[in-house]
């Protein structure tokens, strides 16, 4: 029996694709306004690319997507055949062997085990160019719950711990935001010098 590299997301891809809403799009657009026009952006846990990758591509960014679900990556490639997409878990991804002006991980970090969250944040920090920016979502309170779609455990480390992980990864936390659905976002900058 092979391990499910998507952690249950491939099995529920159809339901996720049907339920995806534009909640969070405003927060990501505000973050993207701080990026250099047309820069390379890495979307970790991109899913089908709707609506976040679609908006970033429409705004002229050079989008690269990583998702561990073959069904999600197939949907992404169908929608955006000219964008780079890799079907692999973020914790094992080579991030296309390059650096990026921006990296987003919306709806992903809290799905990962605690140690993997720390590692992914640190790896994302090293994949940012100097001056590059990171955004990810996770509840501001430390808590755990079972994901509605996959039934698997989700864990938020809480705002204080996430800010600490960003600093330990060499990033400067630049703010936090909340979308109209109550989802919490963290932003950070890789120093230029």
Q: For residue range 59-72, list pLDDT tens digits in order.
A: 999 999 999 999 88
Average pLDDT over residues 101-122: 95
Q: For residue range 6-31, list pLDDT tens digits in order.
A: 555 555 445 545 456 667 899 999 99
**What are the residue boundaries of the structural domains of the chain, listed by start?**
13-189
pTM: 0.90
The three-state secondary structure class of 36 is coil
Helix (H) or strand (E) holding 71: helix 70-79
Instruction: Annotate 32-41 with b (16+ C-beta within 10 A) or e (fewer).
Output: beebeeebbb
Rounded to an integer, what distance in angstroms lies between the CA atom of residue 1 and that of residue 4? Answer: 9
Average pLDDT, the chain: 90
Give the pLDDT of residue 140: 97
Give the pLDDT of residue 24: 86
Asked whether 164 and 136 are in contact (CB, 8 A), the reply is no
Distance set, CA 67 to CA 92, 129, 176 (Å): 11, 22, 25
Give the pLDDT of residue 149: 64
Q: For residue range 114-138, list pLDDT tens digits in order.
A: 999 999 999 999 999 999 999 999 9
Average pLDDT over residues 76-92: 95
Average pLDDT over residues 31-43: 98
- 13-189: what fold? Rossmann fold (3.40.50)
């Amino acid at each position: 029996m092979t391990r499910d590299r998507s952690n249950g997301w491939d099995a529920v891809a159809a339901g996720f694709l049907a339920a995806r809403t534009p909640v969070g799009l405003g927060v990501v657009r505000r973050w993207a306004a701080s990026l250099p026009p047309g820069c390379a952006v890495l979307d970790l846990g991109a899913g089908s690319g709707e609506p976040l990758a679609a908006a970033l591509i429409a705004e002229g960014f050079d989008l690269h997507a990583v998702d561990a679900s073959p069904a999600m990556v197939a949907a992404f490639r169908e929608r955006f055949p000219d964008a780079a997409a890799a079907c692999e878990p973020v914790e094992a991804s080579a991030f296309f062997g390059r650096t990026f002006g921006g990296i987003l991980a919306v709806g992903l970090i809290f799905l990962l085990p605690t140690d993997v969250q720390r590692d992914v944040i640190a790896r994302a920090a090293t994949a940012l160019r100097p001056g590059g920016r990171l955004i990810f979502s996770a509840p501001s309170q430390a808590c755990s719950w079972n994901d509605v779609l996959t039934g698997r455990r989700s864990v938020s480390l809480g705002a204080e711990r996430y800010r600490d992980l960003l600093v330990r990864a060499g990033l400067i936390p630049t703010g936090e935001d909340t979308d109209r659905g109550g989802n919490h976002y963290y932003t950070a900058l890789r120093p230029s010098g």
